[in-house]
Every structure is written in structure tokens, then in C-alpha cells.
Amino acid sequence: MYKILVVDDEPQIVRVIQGFLIKMGFEVAEATGGEEAIELLRSDIKIDLMIVDLKMPKISGIGVLSEMNKLNRKQPTIILTGSIDTSKYLKELKDFGYTIKDILHKPVDLFALLDLVKNKLQIA
């Protein structure tokens, strides 16, 4: 069973996505904010995929990705952002090897999210 880390500073968003993914048969780890996410990433917990918000207080999504890079964690990542203007993050995201295709905009159709998750995990 794949384990997905959901990172968002809004607990209600974490709850919705968590609920959906569990329903779809995934195991979910949750982090409400960048610090929690980094904590989990530093632990030896197994994560197959991460869904991360960009704009978060204290440590942003970029901060989380940066830390993940340092930790040499290579799991696929989906960026789920509330801000529609991603141009200002695009360059940094590209530096970490992400493209527009790795970005989803809130409010997202949960099934579209599912498609991308399956795609990333190469599940048929």
C-alpha cells in the first residue's frame, strides 16, 4: 500500500484530501505546515508520494522541497497551490526538477488529483 504525505497549513484541506485518498485505498501521513512536514521527512517514515501546498507560514512549500532535496528523498511530489499565479515559483520549482505538469490548482477536482497521483506512482 502506497503512503502519501499531505502537507497544507489548512487542517480542513488536509482532512478532505486525506479522507479522499484513504477512501481510494491509500495510506496517508498528514502535516499541517512546513515544520511538521520536514520533521516527518527527516524521520525514517516511508513516503511514496508527497502532496504539498506552496504558500504556508514559516516554512513554505519551496522550503519543504529544498529540505527534501537535502535529505536526498526522491519520492514523486505533487504541488497543490491556492495561488493561481505560480510564475514567481516556477523558476525555483524548475531548479528542483518540476514542471507546470506537477502543479495543481485549488480548488482541485479530487479525481484529477487521483489521476495525477496514480500517474506519478505509475499505477494503472
Partner 1 sequence: MSKELNEKIKFLQGRINELERKLLERKQIKERLEASEVRFRRLFESAQDGILILDANTGQIVEVNPLLIEMLGYSREEFLGKKLWDISFIKDIASSKAIFLELQTKGYVRYEDLPLQTKDGRKIEVEFVSNTYVVNHEKVIQCNIRDITERKRAEEELGKYKGHLEELVKERTAKLELEITERAQTEGALRESEIRLYTVLETIQEGITLSDEAGHFYIYNSAMEKLTGYSREEANVCSDFINLLYPDPEEQQRALQGITELFESGTSRETEMRMLTKDGQLKCILIWSSLTLYGGRRMFLSAYRDITERKQAEETLRKLSSAVRQTADVVIITNKDGVVEYVNPAFEKVTGYTKRETVGQTPRILKSGKHDQSFYEILWKTVLSGNFFHDILINKKKNGELYYALKTITPIKDEAGNITHFVSVDKDITERKEMEKRERLAQLGELVADMAHEVNNPLMIISGNAQISLMEEIQNENVKENLKIIFDECRRAKDIIQRLLKFSRPSRGELREIDINKSIEAVVGIVEHQFELSSIEIIRDYTKDLPIISVDEQQMAEVFMNLLNNSKDAMPKGGVITISTSLAGNFLKIDFKDTGWGMENEVMGRIFEPFFTTKEKGTGLGLSVCYGIIRAHNGELKFKSELHKGTVATILLPLGEDR
Residues contributing to the site for partner 1 (CB under 8 A): 10, 12-13, 16-17, 19-20, 23, 55, 82-85, 87, 100, 105-111
Comparison of 19 and 43: residue with beta carbon closer to partner 1: 19
Q: Return d(Cα 52, Cα 96) in angstroms, integer.
A: 14
Comparison of 46 and 105: residue with beta carbon closer to partner 1: 105
Comparison of 40 and 90: residue with beta carbon closer to partner 1: 90
Q: Return d(Cα 35, Cα 64) in angstroms, integer.
A: 8
Comparison of 17 and 49: residue with beta carbon closer to partner 1: 17
Which residue spans within the chain are E strands per DSSP? Answer: 3-7, 27-31, 49-52, 77-81, 103-105
Nearest Cα neighbor of 42 from 69, 19, 60, 23 is 69
State the nearest-atom distance from the C-beta of 120 to partner 1, in Å.
Answer: 19
State the nearest-atom distance from the C-beta of 32 to partner 1, in Å.
Answer: 13
